Amino acid sequence: MRDDIGQLLWFGFPGPTVDARLRKKLEAGEVGATIVFKRNLVVTDGVTDIDAIIALNRDLHRAAPDGTPALVAVDHEGGVVQRVRAPATHWPPMMRHDALGGDALDIAAKVGRALGDEVRALGFDIDFAPILDVHTNAANPIIGDRAFGTEADAAARRALSFAAGLAAAGVLGCGKHFPGHGDTSTDSHLELPRIDHAWERLEKTELHPFRLAADAQAVAAAPGPIPMIMTAHVVFAAIDASVPATLSHKVVTGLLRERLGYQGVIVSDDLDMKAIAATMGADVAAIGAIRAGCDVLLLCKEEAHQDLAEMALAKECERDSEFRALVGAAARRVRAMKKAHADFTKAHPARGREAIGHADHAALAARLRS
């Protein structure tokens, strides 16, 4: 049970090295993956210390007692959400694909591959990208030009091409934020957004990229272009007006898992975000997200919340055999993804440090930017 719970918990941590607390948890198999943020990087005069990142990620790559490896993740989309800047290639926002015309899909695939080559050369396994949200609200404070377009089908196909490039580089991508954060006017980092569109509009616009992602994942060889989908801390009134998507069984299991047929790993957005944390404890949120159908819980900042979530999951597993079965099934999906990733990366070695900030990547970024 403890081994399974550990696979579900993916944590952020405070500094540029692996502290004693995190090291102990990794070695005990209590953390399935770690997430690297700007606070974990060593940056001097705008230049990131690449040696420090590579050393940090090497230290984070530890195996649980059962042999399951811990993975390392990063948010590296391009534009404003790009953790590692110089000397890595600085990618423009993905909305730039909207101006490219007929060759946008080809360029998206090349960008995904180039960005993925750099991410993997730095020692990361997971990139929480691409954005599958459709940018339909100019007042949206959080998605905006992170999206691949303003029209659902074009944005979806560009994002999936980008994801295929990531996969070819040996990086696990994650489509976000299900079932669509593109038309909100508030930021779920700060408060709980709500979308009141009718089902017909959601099906045509918000859900379309996720439907295509589910279809692509179903037919692809492992690990596939979209091995993970991240949920949104947004209330979708037409589906479930009572709770945000991350905590809704109707949204996560009923819609994503059953209606769209997605069989990959479902990741909660960060449970430390105020859309969740300001309304309930990490214990309630963790149990609610697993019951909704999430496989992985992100707890990116507060160590107290991480401990609370871990204890709550253990107690609920002991109390409720049905919940224990959900945890076991989620852990099996995570382990299967990790095995597929290990098999692929063993067969396809990473590019070396020369990939980081390569001149060809800079030229591709310039083409996207122009």
Question: Under DSSP, is residue 43 helix (H, G, I), strand (E, B) or coil?
Answer: strand
Is the CB of residue 236 less than 8 Å from the CB of residue 179? yes
Q: Give the C-alpha separation, 193 to 141, whole Å.
A: 11
Could you tell me the CA-to-CA distances from 204 to 70, 157, 182, 211 in Å, in that order?
Answer: 38, 15, 13, 10
Q: Give the C-alpha separation, 251 to 202, whole Å.
A: 12
Q: State the Cα torsion 65-67-68-70 to the nearest 10°.
A: 70
* Residue of 9, 51, 21, 56 whose CA lies nearest to 37: 56
Is the CB of residue 160 less than 8 Å from the CB of residue 225? yes
* Cβ-proximal residues to 313 (8 Å cutoff; 6+ apart), any chain: 5, 8, 9, 286, 287, 290, 327
Q: Are strands 194-195 and 172-178 parallel, antiparallel or unpaired?
A: unpaired
* Residue of 206, 116, 222 whose CA lies nearest to 161: 116
Task: Annotate 302-327 with b (16+ C-beta within 10 A) or e (fewer).
Answer: beebbbbbbebbeebbeeeeebbebb
Question: Under DSSP, is residue 214 helix (H, G, I), strand (E, B) or coil?
Answer: helix
Catalytic residue among 75, 240, 269, 283: 269
Q: Check if 305 is active-site.
A: no
Element (H, E) at 51: helix 50-60
Q: Give the C-alpha separation, 249 to 229, whole Å.
A: 15
Q: Are strands 297-299 and 9-11 parallel, antiparallel or unpaired?
A: parallel
Structure-token pair, residue 163: 């994801």
Q: Check if 177 is active-site.
A: no
Phi–psi pair at 176, nearest 5 degrees = -145, 155
Catalytic residue among 59, 145, 187, 189: 189
* Tokens 């991508």 -> residue: 173
* Residue of 97, 65, 75 whose CA lies nearest to 12: 75
Q: Give the active site residues.
A: 189, 269
